[in-house]
Every structure is written in structure tokens, then in C-alpha cells.
Amino acid sequence: MKPTIRVRFALVCALVTAVACGAFLAVLHVAARRYLPEMLHSAEEDVYWNLPAYDRIRRAALSRLLVFGAAGVTVVSLVAAGLGWLLAGWALRPLRRVTESARRVAQSHDLTERIGLDGPREDATELAGIFDGMLARLARSFDGQRRFVANASHELRTPLSINQTLVDVAVRNPAASEDLRRLGESLLLVNARHERLIDGLLTLAEGERTVLDRSPLDLRDVAEHALDRSQEEAGTKDVTVHRLLDGAPTAGNAILLERLVQNLVDNGLRHNRAGGELWVTTRRRDDRIELLVANTGLPVPAYEVQSIFDPFRRLHGDRLGSDRGSGLGLSIVRAIAEAHGGRVAASPRAEGGLTVTVELPAHGD
């Protein structure tokens, strides 16, 4: 495992200090060997001429010099390593600020986050400035994309509304022939599908924005409401709905979360078989809440599971012009979940059908 910059800086400080102190100790040892005889001679004349005593004193002095010197080098090197560790932490503080900001942006998808590092112009402040500029450009790019989708969808609503009114008036005309009425009804169905598509694009553009203004709610209540609204469709398709709803407190935008649950319920009913089943579960798991929607239906290949969250992606060869939705349902689910700090995953059921799991942060105790 490669050591961090802080550890390497501390080791370099310790190494440089040890080399410098070792060189000083070597010079001191050479000087002691050179000048120790003269010092002993000037101090005690008789000792100088007593060679055995002189050798013992000389060896003992040089040995103690090496021992105490080595101990001193070790202590000073350890102190230098500690000081290097502290200085590296102080010097790398701006980089940690950049890292924390980047992590917050990655987790929250909030491109309005800025580092705003002040100080003299140096590498850290220049890096922070470049990072802030990159976030600003990304924010402008995403905002421009969302505005384009919203504006285009809004502009498309007007001619669709006009078409619907004209066709509806023509169909209701008593003088209209039977062929004209059938044609008008077909055009109304096409018009309704286009309106669902535009509504899906608007919701997708809105759902990709991070939800900052959140209100506490219980996802169980949202699921109850969505199932009540879909009760008639479930009865028409003879689908048995199982409600396994426990408390699931969270915080978020109630309208978007309602759309998330409704899309999953509609998807579970739409891609079901006659006489099939639908299971909707809400529960709390530690600091997360879960929403599980499982249904019976055709087998789903495991390699196609992740692609179902892409916009306009269909399974089993469904065409965009069919009556099975706009192809944006699960894309909207993923966008809303990620905007609330959550995640979504899908897994195929062995008996056929799909299980979609949404995890969101829990709120409250």
C-alpha cells in the first residue's frame, strides 16, 4: 500500500534530520579521535604516558560518544517526523477542503457548491479556483439543458391542446361519419400518449435537480395513496395487490416522491399478466427506508436489468408508440431517488417479473 503524502513528508523530514545529525556525529567522532590525546596530555601528564590507562579512557570516551550520539540522533529524528507530520497536515489543509467539497458535490449532485478558498496565489488556491470554475460551467450546462427541455415541453403542449380540442369537436359532431369518429378516437389516443411523453420529460428535468427544500413525510402514506388511485386499473387487469406497508419516515418533495411511487406501481401493473400479482412494501432499515415493488410477468434477462433505467428503454420489444407508457417511468424514478440522496436497483424474479428497490435516507428517530 502506497503511503500518503503526509506520511511521506514526515518520513522525509525524519530521514533528512537523521542524515544531518549522523554527519555531525561522524565529524564529532573524527575530531574526538584527533584531539583527545592532546586534551588528555594537557590535563594529566602521567595518564598520557600510561598507555594502557590512556587506551581505556580513549575507547570509553569514543564509545559513549557514539552511544549517546546515536540515541540523540534517534530522538531528534522522531521529533522531526512528528513535526513533519504536523506541518504536512497544516500545508495540506486547503487540499482537504477541496477534497471535501468534491465529495459533497458527488454525493449531493449540488453544483451550486463552491470551495471559495481565499489566500495568496499558490497551488492550492489556484486548484480551488479551477475547481470552482469547472463547477460553474457544469451548473450552467445542466441548467441550460433543463431549461431547454422544460421550454420545449411547454411549447409542445400548446399545439397538442389545440389538436385535442379540434379532434374532440370533430368527433362529437352529429354529422360526423363512423370512419371519422374512429379516426378521431385514434388521434386522441396518440395525442394522449404525446402528452404523457411531454409530462414525463418535464418531470425528468425537474427530478434531476437536487431537492434542497424537504418536508418530513411517511412513504407508507404515499404508497397507500398511489395504490388507491391504481385500484381500478388493478381490478380491470385482474391483478391481486399485496400491501405490506410499514412506517417509512423520510424527508423530501412530496409531489416528486408521489410521482416516484406512482410510476413504480403503474409499471408493476402495466407489465404484469392477467391474473398476476403485485407486491408493494415499505419499511425502515436502520438509517434508510426502503420501497419495494415486485410484480409477476414475463421473465427479464439479468443483463438487461440496468438498462431499463435509461430513457426510452423498453423490454420485450415494446415500441414507443404502444400504450404501455412513454418509456420514461423508471428514468424518472431513478432521477427522483438520486435527487433525494437515495438510490434505486432492480433484480429479476425467478418466476418472472421484476423487483425494484428504492432506498432513501430515513428522517427522525
Calculate the dihedral angle through the C-alpha atoms of 244, 245, 246, 250, rounding to the nearest 10 degrees.
Answer: 140
C-alpha closest to that of 360 among 295, 309, 284, 308: 284
CB atoms near residue 235 (< 10 Å): 11
What is residue 210's predicted lDDT score, i.e. its pLDDT?
A: 62
pLDDT for 343: 92
Burial of residue 36 (CB within 10 Å: 0-12, 13-18, 19+) is middle
Q: Please give the Cα distance from 91 to 349 (Å, whole number).
A: 54
Q: Name the grid cell of 50.
A: 600510561
Q: Can you say how many angstroms the Cα of residue 138 is from the centroid of all Cα atoms in its chain?
A: 16
pLDDT at 48: 47
> Dihedral through CA 355, CA 358, CA 363, CA 365, nearest 10?
30
Q: What pTM does this model have?
A: 0.56
Q: What is the identity of the amino acid at 267? A: N
Residues 6+ apart with CB under 8 A from 357: 290, 291, 292, 344, 345, 346, 347
How high is the pLDDT of residue 159? 82
Which of 351, 277, 337 minimizes the C-alpha distance to 309? 337
Q: What is the distance between the alpha carbons of residues 330 and 352, in angstroms, rounded to a whole number? A: 18
273 vs 349: CA distance, rounded Å: 14
Contact 203, 255 (CB under 8 A): no
Contact 270, 325 (CB under 8 A): yes
* Residue positions counted in the chain: 365
Asked if residues 109 and 338 have their Cβ atoms less than 8 Å apart, the reply is yes
Residue with cell 579512557: 57
Q: What is the pLDDT of residue 254?
A: 85
As a whole number of angstroms, the longest Cα–Cα distance in the chain is: 144
Listed as ranges, residues in the chain with pLDDT below 70 are 1, 35-55, 57, 106-110, 119-120, 197, 200-201, 203-213, 312-327, 365
Residue 310, SS3 per DSSP: coil
CATH class of 215-361: alpha beta
CA 293 to chain centre: 23
The pLDDT, as a whole number, for residue 281 is 96
- CB-based contacts of 307: which residues, under 8 Å, 6+ apart? 313
Domain-wise residue ranges, the chain: 5-91, 155-207, 215-361
Cα–Cα dist 68/61, whole Å: 11
CB atoms inside a 10 Å sphere around CB 100? 11
Q: Name every residue whose Cβ is closer than 8 Å to that of residue 150 and which is 6 or more positions away in sequence.
A: 202, 205, 206
Residues 6+ apart with CB under 8 A from 204: 149, 311, 328, 331, 332, 335
Could you report the per-residue pLDDT of 201-240, keeping only the tens digit for each? 676 666 666 665 678 999 999 999 999 989 988 999 899 9
pLDDT of residue 33: 73
Residue 298 zone, left/alpha/beta (φ > 0; ψ -120 to 50; rest): beta
Write the CA distances from 358 to 39, 252, 303, 362, integer angstroms.
86, 14, 20, 12
Residue 119 is classified by DSSP as S
Under a CB-based contact definition with an 8 Å cutoff, are residues 339 and 210 in contact? yes
Determine the Cα–Cα distance for residues 228 and 329; give it in Å rounded to an integer: 19
